Amino acid sequence: MSLYKRGDSPHWWIKISHSGTTIQRSTGTEDKSQAREYHDKLKASLWEQQRLGVKPRRAWKEAVVRWLAETSEKVTHHQDIGKLRWLDRFLGGLMLDEITLDVIDRIKSERLKTVNKPTVNRYLALVRAILLRSRDEWEWIDKVPKVKLFKEGQGRERSITLEEAETLLGELPKHQRDVVLFALATGLRQSNVLRLEWSHVDLKAGHAWVDADQSKNGNPISVPLNATALEVLRRQLGKHSQRVFTYAGKPLANANTKAWRNALKRAGIENFRWHDIRHTWASLHRQSGTPTHELQRLGGWRSSVMVERYAHLAPDHLAKAANRLDALFGGYDLATSEQE
């Protein structure tokens, strides 16, 4: 048996030779008897793997590394990294088969202390996705706990009026004003606006596009540019060779800044996120009579279900459709009243 201490760790470490390789790792404990037990169990497990064909146990951290490598093209890749860093305090020291419902419940309880249920669901969904891939694709484990998400209500639909939007634009610094105005004119998500490159803009044709790997639904998005969007883009010409939106010669990395939040306060607008600009854009379109199928294509939604959230904002359009039956019924109601 090889148990030893290292100067940079309070824990006991083990060193085992197996199949021509050397395994060195921390036991995670300062208690020598517990460390000895860990050593013996690991050695028995290695024997089972070699002699009996038992699957080797895999650590959560191994799964995280492979997941991030295989999903590096996801639009939400950076968000996944942030979530996984937070989850490391609960899962970082565990093997995949040690992740139980009790562990999941602890994650739920702790995350609920600072964020709402829909946000907790994003963390749980990420854990579930990694565990399912570990079982179904990598065959690292045989079963996974049933991770249940919180029930969510209807999607958030916060939007502001055209007058409020104009007030907000007036309170923003010039460089941010153009970013927000472009988002209001096109409905593009924040990441697509900030990452927009000149190679994806054709000013002459009045057209821009978002590649599939930068689109939330995985499909390319065609962006017809109206006069407002074109004017914003022309103001950016010559500021940067690659990226469209910049500040002090450098590409903008984030729009949800202190300047943005202060502008909201000065404009008297509460409970409004940057993503709500997209809701505002969709609401203004519906109020202007843009039909569902056109709005769906403009917004790059895969399904019309998301677009139908804005149907109630086009009452005049629906009224015209309802009135088409008047010609069929003719004066029936009036005639009935007179007979009575």
CATH number of the domain enclosing 231: 1.10.443.10
Tell me the C-alpha distance between 2 and 36, whole Å: 9
Q: Is 189 a catalytic residue?
A: yes
Catalytic residue among 18, 250, 275, 302: 275
pLDDT tens digits for range 229-248: 999 999 999 999 999 999 99
Longest dimension (CA), the chain: 104
Q: CA neighbours within 13 Å on the CB side: how many for 142? A: 4
Same domain flag for 74 and 35: no
What pLDDT does 319 receive? 54
- The closest alpha carbon to 183, from 165, 201, 205, 199, belongs to 165
Mean pLDDT in residue range 69-82: 83
Q: Read off φ and ψ for residue 14, nearest 5 degrees.
A: -120, 155
Beta-bridged to residue 250, according to DSSP, are 247
* Residue 262 falls inside a structural domain: yes
Residue 312 pLDDT level (bands cut at 50, 70, 90): low
What pLDDT does 320 receive? 56
Same domain flag for 77 and 209: no
Tell me the C-alpha distance between 247 and 260, whole Å: 14
Same domain flag for 185 and 307: yes
Tell me the C-alpha distance between 244 and 230, whole Å: 12
Amino acid at 257: T
What pLDDT does 215 receive? 79
Same domain flag for 266 and 182: yes
pLDDT tens digits for range 84-119: 999 999 999 999 999 999 999 999 999 999 888 888
6 alpha carbon, distance to own chain's centre:
41
- Domain extent, residue 20, equals 3-52
Give the other-Cβ count within 10 Å of 91's Cβ.
22
* Residue 327 falls inside a structural domain: no
Beta-bridged to residue 12, according to DSSP, are 5
- The closest alpha carbon to 241, from 299, 197, 293, belongs to 197
- The closest alpha carbon to 38, from 89, 90, 95, 82, belongs to 95
Catalytic residue among 278, 279, 285, 286: 278
What pLDDT does 333 receive? 52
* Residue 146 falls inside a structural domain: no
pLDDT tens digits for range 13-39: 888 876 666 777 788 788 888 888 888
What pLDDT does 293 receive? 79
What pLDDT does 255 receive? 86
Alpha-helical segments (H) within 71-214: 77-91, 101-111, 117-136, 162-171, 174-186, 190-194
- The closest alpha carbon to 150, from 208, 108, 209, belongs to 108
318 alpha carbon, distance to own chain's centre:
33
* Residue 19 falls inside a structural domain: yes
Residue 310 pLDDT level (bands cut at 50, 70, 90): low
* Residue 206 falls inside a structural domain: yes
Amino acid at 102: D
Same domain flag for 102 and 166: no
The tokens for 54 are 């038992």
Same domain flag for 75 and 129: yes
Give the predicted TM-score (pTM) of the model: 0.54
Same domain flag for 224 and 291: yes
301 alpha carbon, distance to own chain's centre:
15
Catalytic residue among 108, 189, 195, 279: 189
* Residue 150 falls inside a structural domain: no
Structure-model confidence comparison of residues 169 and 309, the more confident one: 169
pLDDT tens digits for range 128-169: 999 999 999 998 898 999 999 988 765 556 888 889 999 999
Same domain flag for 129 and 214: no
Tell me the C-alpha distance between 299 and 41, whole Å: 56
Q: Is 278 a catalytic residue?
A: yes
Catalytic residue among 12, 67, 281, 310: 310
* Residue 168 falls inside a structural domain: yes
Q: Is 301 a catalytic residue?
A: yes
pLDDT tens digits for range 237-295: 999 999 999 999 999 988 888 999 999 999 999 889 888 998 888 888 888 878 777 87
- The closest alpha carbon to 180, from 260, 289, 237, belongs to 260
Catalytic residue among 216, 239, 243, 273: 216
Same domain flag for 187 and 286: yes
Tell me the C-alpha distance between 95 and 35, whole Å: 17
What pLDDT does 155 receive? 55
Same domain flag for 254 and 122: no
- The closest alpha carbon to 87, from 62, 119, 124, belongs to 124
* Residue 331 falls inside a structural domain: no
Tell me the C-alpha distance between 40 and 127, whole Å: 30
- Residue pair 194/254 in contact (Cβ under 8 Å)? The answer is yes
Q: Which of 52, 69, 88 is the last residue of a domain?
A: 52
Residue 53 has pLDDT above 80, yes or no: no
Same domain flag for 313 and 172: yes
Region class of 300: left (phi > 0), else alpha (psi between -120 and 50), else beta: left
Same domain flag for 204 and 110: no
Give the chain's domain count: 3
Give the other-Cβ count within 10 Å of 152's Cβ.
11
